[in-house]
Amino acid sequence: MSTEPLLQKPELVLALSQLDRCRLCMAETLLEAAKALLQPWAAESTLPEPNRMDVPIPAADLLAAVKALHDARWGYLSAITGLDLGPEAGAMEALYHFCMGAAVVTLRVRLPRDEASVPSVCGLIPSASFFERELSEMFGVTVTDTPDPSRLFLPDDWPDGVYPLRKDFVMSPTGGGNGAQAE
Amino acid sequence: MPTTEPREKFIVPIGPQHPALKEPGHFEFTVDGEIVTGATARLGYVHRGIEKGTEDRSWVQNLYLLERICGICSHSHALAYALGVEKLAGVEAPPRAQAIRVLVAELERIHSHLLWLGVAAHEAGFDTLFMYSWRDRETVMDLLENLTGNRVNYSANVLGGVKFDVSVEQADAIRRGLDFLEERTQHYLTVVTTDSMFLRRTRGIATMSKQQAEALGVIGPTARASDVPRDVRVESPYAAYTTFPVEAVLATAGDLEARFLVRVKELFESYRVIREILDRMPAGDLTARMPRRVKEGETVSRIEAPRGELFYFIKSGGGDRPERVKARTPSMFNFASVLTLAVGHQLADIPMIMAGIDPCFSCNDRLVVVNRIGHEADVWTWEKLRQYGIEYYRR
């Protein structure tokens, strides 16, 4: 590698730090592009960190928003995070994280806690199947039209209707759950 | 196997248990004669509820909990978490700590890739390569132990920095170890590209085009072997990768041979960057002061683990413990690709296709061949399937 001796020169260390800034500008440009693609929903978008953009999306528009990013080949779906805001808030969120370079766009779908349902994105992104199976068994979010709705992680004898990553599910000291939601 | 009788559909369940290595998983392959026509997966046999567990533990306790998600890439988990929590708290670890973090991360990559090389060679029936690569892997395990006190779960990180320094003697020991490993790796590169028996098991097998790789969403070395330049160290450098940049190692063929090439060549890149860090280690403190409570907020922390992008989402409510920690491991993506790639291949190729993504696959010790129509089950072990693959290619 030729970089080694070069890096010891101060002007090149400076150049490197500019490269860092450049990467950040690139992330900003990428986020701008994503914002343009997500124009119908972009009004409410926020930038929680310089390389990240959050865009709230109604569940009914999720497929359209994912399609906009997917068709433009903007990054890839890196993860789907379920987020329970607790029984008091009565809401949950499903976060669809798309990554491109250093930029991360998160589509935030807010869902009522008692009737959480999102459409499957597997028609566009087949690799989302595992994420959707995890989301539905851990949070009790119904994923309509997902190709394989069976359990991925939870054991076969896990009780129906008990979702361990919801906030009102409490682990017992022995490691099992209390079945708080099972009734 | 040619047969004149009408072919029946078989489901071949593989897994889930194997006590020897990491992560059990259960796969069902539907076969039509020799050819795989469908595949499904069932994971979770080692799901320990760690994500839930983080919500009951302090920020510091979680560092040790999350490190135990994986014994192979424990440092990757701790690093992704520590970087994320530091970002939320507005703390930056000192440059020397960041350099040591990268040093350990690359040593971990070396041990992980050598481990994989041995396991993959074993699946191909090439046990000489397996024995040699694991013998050589001991070199890097010793270096890690010498540095951190542990062979696995090194606990190199603390929130705000690292736990130990690298002395001049330790640096010299690492350099000597790397010289030895580099020579050995050169030999392995020759073996995996020229051994004709081995190439029969890898060349043109489980080929994934660039388009396929992008559609399947594979990451890490599996993606790079299909010319998809996904490497978080390059795309979004973290810790000290800005000061000590690495180059993404790419191959274009997209078959198993390419996946061997990429991983073996990545070893050279790791040796190079470790030497560079040792030669130009920044001076200064090892830790920055970390508050007990972390400011309210959310962050995403991504790092390149040996198997690909490791993704952490961390949410703080402003307290002394997280509201939510989500870890998406690289195997989540790469397992899914096996299900697609296996279709159309011989059953005999399955062990190598599984090995190709470097999954936690050796769990699949039990294999049941079920005749769907006759309902008669015959129990195969993973060993028997492996042997079947080897015998098949001897014919």
For residue B302, count CB atoms less than 10 angstroms from its CB and return exposed for 0-12, middle for 13-18, buried for 19 or more: buried
ipTM of the complex: 0.85
Q: Is B295 on the interface with A (CB under 8 A)?
A: no
Give per-residue pLDDT as tens, B229-272. Answer: 889 999 999 999 999 999 999 999 988 899 999 999 999 999 99
pLDDT > 90? residue B28? no
Least confident of A38-42, A179-183, B96-100, B210-214: A179-183
pLDDT at B369: 37
Nearest residue on chain A to B56, alpha-carbon basis: A171
Contact flag B272-A95 (C-beta cutoff 8 Å): no
Q: Is B241 on the interface with A (CB under 8 A)?
A: no
pLDDT at B20: 36
Mean pLDDT of B44-69: 86
| SS3 state at A79 | strand
First CA to last CA distance, chain A: 64
CA B124, B129, B130, B133 torsion: positive or negative? negative
Contact flag A153-B43 (C-beta cutoff 8 Å): yes
**Is B165 within 8 Å of B237 (Cβ atoms)?**
no
How far are the Cα atoms of A76, A130, B130 from residue A120, in angstroms, in the given order?
Answer: 16, 11, 42
B-chain residues within 8 Å CB-CB of A27? 236
For residue B318, count CB atoms less than 10 angstroms from its CB and return exposed for 0-12, middle for 13-18, buried for 19 or more: exposed
For an interface test with A, which of B40, B52, B208, B304 has the most A Cβ atoms less than 10 Å from its Cβ?
A: B52
Nearest residue on chain A to B234, alpha-carbon basis: A101
Sorted by sequence, the CB contacts under 8 Å of residue A95 that are 6+ apart come out as A80, A81, A82, A83, A106, A107, A108, A109, B313
The C-alpha atoms of residue A60 and residue A65 are separated, in whole angstroms, by: 10
DSSP state at residue B158: E
Q: Is B300 on the interface with A (CB under 8 A)?
A: yes
Contact flag A49-B299 (C-beta cutoff 8 Å): yes
pLDDT at B333: 76
| SS3 state at A160 | coil
Contact flag B309-A99 (C-beta cutoff 8 Å): yes
Mean pLDDT of B61-79: 89
pLDDT at B374: 37
Q: Please state, as a whole number, how many other Cβ atoms lie within 10 Å of the Cβ of residue A132.
A: 26
B217-238 burial string, b = 16+ CB within 10 Å, else e?
Answer: bbbbbbbbbbbbebbbbebbbb
pLDDT > 70? residue A132? yes
Give per-residue pLDDT as tens, B155-184. Answer: 999 999 999 999 999 999 999 999 999 999
pLDDT at B17: 54
pLDDT at B21: 42
pLDDT at A19: 58
Distance from CA of A146 to the nearest CA of B (A): 14
Nearest residue on chain B to A73, alpha-carbon basis: B214
CA B253 to centroid of chain Cα atoms: 21
The C-alpha atoms of residue B40 and residue B29 are separated, in whole angstroms, by: 7
pLDDT at A15: 54
Least confident of A139-153, B117-131, B354-368: B354-368
pLDDT at A177: 54
pLDDT at B40: 77
Distance from CA of B173 to the nearest CA of A (A): 21
pLDDT at A5: 44
Nearest residue on chain B to A76, alpha-carbon basis: B217
**Is B181 within 8 Å of A43 (Cβ atoms)?**
no
The C-alpha atoms of residue B311 and residue B76 are separated, in whole angstroms, by: 10
Mean pLDDT of B284-312: 93
Give per-residue pLDDT as tens, B80-92. Answer: 999 999 999 999 9
Distance from CA of A165 to the nearest CA of B (A): 6
For an interface test with B, which of A1, A22, A95 has the most B Cβ atoms less than 10 Å from its Cβ?
A: A1
Question: How many percent of chain B have pLDDT more than 90?
Answer: 54
Which CB contacts under 8 angstroms, 24+ apart, belong to B379-385?
B380/B12, B382/B14, B382/B18, B382/B351, B385/B14, B385/B347, B385/B350, B385/B351
pLDDT at B367: 35
Whether the bond into B16 is cis, omega within 30 of 0: yes
pLDDT at A180: 44
Output the average pLDDT for chain B. 84
CA angle centred on B221, ends B309 and B229, rounded to 5°: 75
Instruction: Considering only the beta carbons, identify the residue of A16, A102, A129 that sits closest to B336.
Output: A129
B-chain residues within 8 Å CB-CB of A127? 215-217, 333, 336-337
Q: What is the dihedral of CA B374, B378, B384, B386, to 10 degrees?
A: 40
How far are the Cα atoms of B23, B198, B257, B258 from residue B195, in angstroms, in the given order?
Answer: 31, 5, 11, 14
| SS3 state at B10 | strand
pLDDT at B366: 28
B-chain residues within 8 Å CB-CB of A79? 311, 313, 326, 328
pLDDT at A175: 52
pLDDT > 60? residue B298? yes
pLDDT at B165: 95
**Is B325 within 8 Å of B313 (Cβ atoms)?**
yes
pLDDT > 70? residue A6? no
Question: How many percent of chain A have pLDDT more than 90?
Answer: 51
Q: Is B245 on the interface with A (CB under 8 A)?
A: yes
With cut-offs at 50, 70 and 90, classify the pLDDT of residue A182.
Answer: very low
Domain boundaries, chain B: 50-326
Q: Please state, as a whole number, how many other Cβ atoms lie within 10 Å of the Cβ of residue B362.
A: 21
Strands B366-371 and B161-162: unpaired
**Is A143 within 8 Å of A118 (Cβ atoms)?**
yes
Comparing B7 with A81, which gets the higher pLDDT? Answer: A81
Total beta-carbon pairs less than 8 A apart between chain A and chain B: 102
Contact flag B333-A127 (C-beta cutoff 8 Å): yes
The C-alpha atoms of residue A105 and residue A96 are separated, in whole angstroms, by: 8
CA B206 to centroid of chain Cα atoms: 19
Q: Is B335 on the interface with A (CB under 8 A)?
A: yes
The C-alpha atoms of residue A101 and residue A30 are separated, in whole angstroms, by: 8
pLDDT > 50? residue B47? yes
Q: Give domain B50-326's CATH number out of 1.10.3720.10, 1.10.760.10, 3.40.190.10, 1.10.645.10.
A: 1.10.645.10
**Is B49 within 8 Å of B312 (Cβ atoms)?**
no
Mean pLDDT of B324-337: 83
pLDDT > 80? residue B395? no
Mean pLDDT of A158-180: 74
Q: What is the dihedral of CA A135, A62, A68, B224, to 10 degrees?
A: 0
The C-alpha atoms of residue A150 and residue A132 are separated, in whole angstroms, by: 10
Distance from CA of A154 to the nearest CA of B (A): 6
pLDDT at A18: 60
For an interface test with A, which of B235, B295, B325 has the most A Cβ atoms less than 10 Å from its Cβ?
A: B235
pLDDT > 60? residue B140? yes
For an interface test with B, which of A130, A131, A146 has the most B Cβ atoms less than 10 Å from its Cβ?
A: A130
Question: How many percent of chain B have pLDDT more than 70?
Answer: 87
pLDDT > 70? residue A143? yes
Nearest residue on chain B to A49, alpha-carbon basis: B299
Mean pLDDT of A22-35: 84
pLDDT at B29: 79
Question: Which stretch of DSSP H or E encloses residue B175?
Answer: helix B168-194
Give per-residue pLDDT as tens, A63-78. Answer: 999 999 999 989 899 9
**Is B71 within 8 Å of B152 (Cβ atoms)?**
yes
Helices (runs of H) and strands (runs of E) counted in chain A: 4, 7
pLDDT at B337: 77
**Is B232 within 8 Å of B309 (Cβ atoms)?**
yes
pLDDT > 70? residue B18? no
Q: Is B296 on the interface with A (CB under 8 A)?
A: no
pLDDT at B376: 42
Nearest to B118 by CA among B134, B107, B102: B134
Q: Is B87 on the interface with A (CB under 8 A)?
A: yes
How far are the Cα atoms of A13, A91, B116 from residue B313, in angstroms, in the given order?
Answer: 32, 19, 28
Contact flag B40-A148 (C-beta cutoff 8 Å): yes
DSSP state at residue B153: S
Comparing B9 with B324, which gets the higher pLDDT? Answer: B324
Comparing A172 with B231, which gets the higher pLDDT? Answer: B231
Contact flag A97-B214 (C-beta cutoff 8 Å): no
CA B278 to centroid of chain Cα atoms: 25
Distance from CA of A101 to the nearest CA of B (A): 5
Give per-residue pLDDT as tens, A98-113. Answer: 999 899 999 999 999 9
Comparing B365 with B279, which gets the higher pLDDT? Answer: B279
Give per-residue pLDDT as tens, A9-21. Answer: 455 545 555 655 6
Sorted by sequence, the CB contacts under 8 Å of residue B30 that are 6+ apart come out as B9, B10, B11, B12, B36, B37, B38, B39
Distance from CA of B129 to the nearest CA of A (A): 29
pLDDT > 90? residue B288? yes
With cut-offs at 50, 70 and 90, classify the pLDDT of residue A154.
Answer: confident
Instruction: Considering only the beta carbons, identify the residue of B217, B245, B297 that sits closest to A125.
Output: B217
Q: At what angle do helices B127-148 and B168-194 cross, to 10 degrees?
A: 160
pLDDT at B214: 83
Nearest residue on chain A to B42, alpha-carbon basis: A152
A-chain residues within 8 Å CB-CB of B27? none
